[in-house]
Structure 1
Amino acid sequence: MWTFSFYIHPQSVLTSINTYLSFLPKFNLSSKTYSKPDISMAEKSKILIIGGTGYIGKFVAEASAKEGHPTFILTRESTIKHPEKSKLLDNFKNLGAKLVIGDLHDHESLVKAIKEVDVVISTVGGESVADQVKIIAAIKEAGNVKRFLPSEFGTDVDHVTAVEPAKSIFKGKADIRRAIEAAGIPHTFVACNGFAGYFLPNIGQMDTYTAPREKVTILGDGSAKAVFVKEEDIALATIKAVDDPRTLNKILIFRPPGNTLSFNEIVSIWESKIGKTLEKTFVSEEQILKNIQEAPFGLSVLLSISHSVLVNGSATDFEIEPSFGVEASELYPDVKFTTIDDYLTPFA
């Protein structure tokens, strides 16, 4: 099922941003062009992860620890006692990560945790996107953060075409970007596009959790290029970016060639693996837009994001200009991105 962690109320984002921006000083951020740095012998930054037990957060936390970064996981007392999340926390500790008791809504604990690190990575869910102004305020007070990566991990919200409700949700994340820039905080925005684990196991079918064997439904004409990346690969490239001057104040955009395919191309790969031609139903854009308008909020979010990516092609319909972005697979050729073809093999 195609989805992202974007279940938030857009108005709450705008209210929080406007309140915060009203008292922020203005900063001018300069953009620089860097050649490939030699950071192999550099001391690795200490990283605080906020939202480390969430969907993408657990991958990022694990990658941080495995890559040798002193890793700190902001954790509530209730999370430690949670039967499932406590297992994740135990795994992080076994990898060398340190649990830091604190809360996004407890300013003092947030500042205290941030003062211990160099880099802050937020992987909070969509319902907490607006609350990242609290992280911004804490980073400003702490005064020691070299890089902030807010909760993004989806389509590049500064270069996206979408209808409501996705339009307002994307704008909420863009507003957080503007608040970070206005605060003069060094940053990297991670636009990894689609999570492979959400879309590929069922080939984007919304009515089943398994890959189709007889029939497949394709949104639009299936020709728009989309991007789906394995979560472990997203996490590894994200961690590599934290100490990389080439990603400073830039958008890290993921477009590995083997992960950038149209819906039709993905279906074709799947058909070749199962040795069978599927019966295809194409849903017109007109029908998709009608479904978005008639669906309850949660489903309309899902459909409107799908429309943006799979019909409008918002993941790939713009050039990555050096003035604002860098491409992950070009920056990190040592990251062996799992191609869509390889990802689908175990499901055949």
Structure 2
Amino acid sequence: MASQPPTPKKIIIFGATGVIGKYITQALVDNKSKFESIAIFTSQNTVENKAAEVEQLKNEGVKVVVGDIKNEEDVTSAYEGYDTVVSALSRSTITNQTQLLALAERSNSITSFYPSEYGTDITYNPLTSPHEKPHQDKLRVRAFVESSIKRLLVTYLVTGPYSDMYMGKPIGEGGKAGGFDVKDKKAVLLGSGDEEVSFTTMADVGKLLVASLETPFVASDASSPNTRIFKVNSFTTTPHRILAEFEKQTGGEKWKTVYTPLAELKSLESLAWEKGIPSATAYTLRRIWTEGGTLYKQSDNVKVGDPKTESLEEQVRKLVGR
């Protein structure tokens, strides 16, 4: 009988000060008593430009390893003494994970790897997912894992969209990609407003990552014994329910509300890609969510110990209080 893989105890994080990385890093720091050591790998540029943030991490007992993520020697050296890599690399740098994975596979100490998979489920539909433009880099990373990783234990933590961002101010040209403006009490709702989406707060991404680290490794599929997938979330709701909660927490007054129907959203998405507009990715992701591409009738929260997650009410309270 195969022995149970060791529980991760020595963690090194890549992308630790990024958009989602800072939440993941904070959750690890908040739970540092559960781990033997925590480190971040970062660039000299980050050390200089985010000096206060980096210094605070040092004060919390986090080791700061400075190097170039594209330099094999820097990464190989950084891996020494750690057993788990947690990647929080941004969408623009996500393909760097193939080298990180390859070096981890050859490492004498790294046994577990958590790729940056937070966000939209890139395999939600076997027919359409492979063709979605924002999914391509993550799909390449998964393909690399399938073809080249034989020893490492790889965990994909799929969280669904970040509610903090979805419920922020309207984005896209004219705000057509949806959002909620607390100051002016205006909302742009996508679709009919009744389509359900499974969201995760950014703080909960970190909490669920820590919970998954503590969960003994069991492969999700016998055909891929070195990989597992956790599809987790904080809550499932609709644009109309979100709006109602904002109205409730801002005095009960009805907000000015407009809609971007799904057909219009698709049209704006096509135009944005055609013109090379930066918001094209946002249009695609929000179209996928509105279509139900990240709707989990049953999440894997229970598989990672079912940690307490934030509610819609708590998320809105945070956003109203900003």
Deviates more, 1:135-144 or 1:120-129: 135-144
Look up the match of 2:195.
Answer: 224
Distance verdict in 2 for CA 1:115–1:299, change over 3 Å = same
For residue 97 of structure 1, report the CA deviation from its aligned partner. Answer: 0.6
Q: Residue type matched to 2:312 in 1? A: I
Question: Offset at 1:330?
Answer: 5.5
**Structure 1: segments with no counterpart, 5+ residues:** 1-31, 321-325
> Which residue does the alignment assign to 1:254?
232
1:323 maps to none
Question: In 2, are the aligned partners of 1:237 and 1:332 still within 8 Å (CA)?
Answer: no
Query: 2:310 pairs with 338, 342, 345, which one?
Result: 338
Work out the CA distance in 2 between the residues paired with 1:214 and 1:46: 46
> How far 1:239 sits from its partner (Å)?
1.7
Q: How far apart are the structure 2 equivalents of 1:280 and 1:222?
A: 11
Aligned counterparts of 1:164 and 1:255: Cα–Cα separation in 2? 20
Structure-2 residue corresponding to 1:54 = 18
Amino acid of the residue matched to residue 72 of structure 2?
H
* TM-aligned CA deviation for residue 319 of structure 1: 6.0
The residue aligned with 1:308 is 288
Deviation at 1:253, TM superposition (A): 1.4
Q: Does 1:211 align with 2:170?
A: no
Alpha-carbon deviation of 1:304? 1.0
Corresponding position of 1:176: 141
Q: Which runs of 5+ in 2 are unaligned?
A: 220-226
How far off its partner does 1:271 sit? 2.2
State TM-score, norm by structure 2: 0.82
User: Relative to structure 1, is the Cα distance of residues 141 and 301 closer, same or farther in structure 2, using a 3 angstrom cutoff?
Assistant: same
TM-score normalised over the length of structure 1? 0.77
In the alignment of these two chains, the number of paired residues is 297
Query: How do 1:143-158 and structure 2 match up within 5 A?
Result: 143-158=108-123
RMSD, aligned α-carbons: 2.9
Which structure 2 residues correspond to residues 40-189 of structure 1 after superposition, within 5 A? 45-68=9-32, 69=35, 70-82=37-49, 85-160=50-125, 167-182=132-147, 183-184=149-150, 185-189=152-156
- Residue 257 of structure 2 is aligned to residue 265 of structure 1: no
Runs of 4+ in 1 over 4 A off after TM superposition: 160-166
Q: Equivalent residue for 2:224?
A: none
Q: CA deviation at 1:237?
A: 1.5
Distance in 2, matches of 1:220 and 1:61, equals 35
Distance in 2 (alpha carbons) for counterparts of 1:43 and 1:287: 48
- The equivalent residue for 1:245 is 216
- Aligned residue identity for 1:297: I
- Amino acid of the residue matched to residue 140 of structure 2? D
Of the three residues 181, 202, 205, the one matched with 1:234 is 205
- Higher relative contact order by CA 8 Å / sep ≥ 6: 1 or 2? 1
> How far apart, in 1, do the equivalents of 2:239 and 2:131 lie?
20
Using the alignment, how far apart are the partners of 1:262 and 1:166 within structure 2?
Answer: 26
The change in CA–CA distance for 1:76 and 1:136 in structure 2 (over 3 A counts) is same
